[in-house]
Amino acid sequence: MDFSDELQFSFSRSSGSGGQYVNKVATQVELRFHLENSIKLSASQKAILKEKLANRISKDGYLILTESKSRSQFSNRKKVIKRFYELIEDNLKRVKPRIAVKVPKSVKAKRKLNKRLASQKKQTSKKVNPKDLD
């Protein structure tokens, strides 16, 4: 899905390394995506994203991501867009339900055998009490 026409960007001065450059250039990128107004997502997809991303969605209904690691506004913009698409894709994937499988008899038997052998090993390595020998 291509959300490029639904994404809103704002730029601000980034904190961190960069010296005087940091104080002059707005390299931090903030991506805003209004989930409810999206025409690319179905109602069920919106509901799933709203539930899974509840802690990332603002009261206004915006999903907000920021990026400021690079000193380049262009690369920060590319990174935040990539993160956005990964976030949407990961949260819309269906999780395959786990099917419980019965433990095979051979596995149970092997476990019992190993327990018995470990027990015997411990029994033979105990200190011998001289009174028991009589």
* pLDDT of res. 94: 87
Indicate if the pLDDT at residue 112 is higher than 80: yes
* pLDDT of res. 78: 94
> How far is 47 from 53, CA to CA, in rounded Å?
10
Query: Domains of the chain: which residue ranges?
Result: 1-125
Distances 67 to 20, 26, 29, 72, 74 between C-alpha atoms, Å: 19, 12, 5, 11, 11
Instruction: Tell me the CATH architecture of domain 1-125.
Output: 2-Layer Sandwich (3.30)
* pLDDT of res. 27: 83
Please provide the average confidence, as pLDDT, over all residues in the chain.
Answer: 87
> How far is 67 from 69, CA to CA, in rounded Å?
6
Indicate if the pLDDT at residue 128 is higher than 80: no
* pLDDT of res. 22: 65
Tell me the per-residue pLDDT of 4-57, one tens digit each, with 9 for 90 and over: 888 888 888 877 666 666 677 788 899 999 988 889 899 999 999 999 999 999
* pLDDT of res. 14: 74
The average pLDDT across 71-100 equals 91
Residue with more model confidence, 126 or 122: 122
